[in-house]
């Protein structure tokens, strides 16, 4: 392993993500890049653009800065989100 490579272990039992919403992508990943998306928000808070019509959805995914976990399974999306949130914490603490 190179010095620049790091292994991140995320223990979701000790550090759960709440709130958490995982949904199957409306367009099967065409715009988001994955079949499932994981959000650190309640279902009613999900941005309309993420599930809107084709143009709205494409624009949302091209421009969003919201941390969203992406994966081909719900678990993959969850661990993707957990990794994104952990990296944000590390950046914030620098």
Q: Are strands 36-39 and 21-24 parallel, antiparallel or unpaired?
A: antiparallel
Quote the CA–CA distance of 21 and 37 in Å, as a whole number.
8
* Predicted confidence (pLDDT) per residue in 9-60, tens digit: 778 887 789 999 999 999 999 999 999 999 999 999 999 999 999 999 999 9
DSSP states of the chain: --TT-------TTTS--SS-EEEE-TTTTTTTSSSEEEESS-GGGS-GGGGS-HHHHHHHHHH--S-EEEESSHHHHHHHHHHHHHHHHHHHT-
Does the pLDDT of residue 5 top 80, yes or no? Answer: no
Q: pTM for this one? A: 0.86
* Predicted confidence (pLDDT) per residue in 49-88, tens digit: 999 999 999 999 999 999 999 999 999 999 999 999 999 9
């Amino acid at each position: 392993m190179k010095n620049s490579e790091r292994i991140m272990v995320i223990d979701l039992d000790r550090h759960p993500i709440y709130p958490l919403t995982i949904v199957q992508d409306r367009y099967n990943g065409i715009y988001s890049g994955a079949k499932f998306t994981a959000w650190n928000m309640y279902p009613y808070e999900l941005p309309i653009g993420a599930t809107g019509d084709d143009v709205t959805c494409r624009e949302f995914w091209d421009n969003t800065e919201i941390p969203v976990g992406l994966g081909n399974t719900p678990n993959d999306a969850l661990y993707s989100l957990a990794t994104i949130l952990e990296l944000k914490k590390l950046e914030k603490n620098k």
